[in-house]
């Protein structure tokens, strides 16, 4: 949930890491001073995301995985921004992802086990992402938030005790907002002093 430090070629270049999987997938699209970015459209971006999201050992780095993740990201993006008919379509899209897998309960040698099974390995990361989104909704749908910076598309899960987190990162958007408020107050003071 911290801003990412200096990047290396294979490092995850996104400004916000460590969010729950559904929000982390949404945050593969971001905007900074150099423009709009999409990690999943970059060469090697899927590899970076799978590694960063902790899915590299289970989900293959294939076109099928990428397609499943892109479909799931589209559904999640619509779910967090749509209303009316768009929201119903987004639900259908997420349910399409969920239809590709299930949790199978077993009694293993050490006790109860839950095994995720998907149609193909290419759906595993997308299915886990969709399943975790349902859990986030159950735990606190109101804690899924967009950064208060209107130009920032990043999402986060507010885990603060008082539930008042506003920014994707205080070091990025939070500081920009503080600087902007200070500048506006200073400009207002200057205008007032000139009119006296």
pLDDT at 153 (0 to 100): 93
pLDDT at 190 (0 to 100): 54
Show me where the domains of the chain are located.
21-195
The tokens describing 145, both together, are: 């938030």
Fold for the domain defined by 21-195: Jann2411-like fold (1.10.3300)
pLDDT at 180 (0 to 100): 56
pLDDT at 169 (0 to 100): 82
Intervals of the chain under pLDDT 50: 1-9, 182-183, 186
The pTM for the full model equals 0.83
């Amino acid at each position: 949930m911290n801003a990412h430090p200096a990047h290396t070629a294979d490092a995850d270049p996104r400004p916000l890491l460590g969010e729950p999987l559904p929000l982390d997938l949404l945050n593969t699209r971001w905007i900074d001073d150099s423009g709009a970015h999409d990690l999943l459209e970059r060469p090697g971006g899927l590899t970076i995301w799978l590694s960063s999201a902790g899915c590299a050992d289970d989900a293959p780095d294939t076109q099928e995985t990428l397609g499943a993740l892109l479909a799931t990201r589209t559904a999640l993006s619509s779910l967090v921004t749509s209303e009316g008919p768009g929201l119903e379509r987004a639900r259908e899209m997420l349910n399409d992802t969920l239809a590709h897998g299930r949790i199978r309960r077993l009694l293993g040698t050490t006790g109860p086990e839950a095994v995720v099974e998907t149609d193909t390995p290419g759906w595993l990361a997308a299915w886990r992402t969709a399943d975790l989104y349902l859990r986030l909704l159950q735990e606190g749908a109101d804690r899924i938030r967009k950064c208060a910076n209107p130009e920032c598309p990043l999402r986060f899960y507010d885990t603060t005790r008082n539930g008042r987190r506003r920014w994707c990162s205080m070091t990025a958007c939070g500081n920009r907002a503080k600087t902007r408020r200070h500048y506006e107050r200073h400009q207002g003071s200057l205008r007032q002093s000139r009119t006296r």
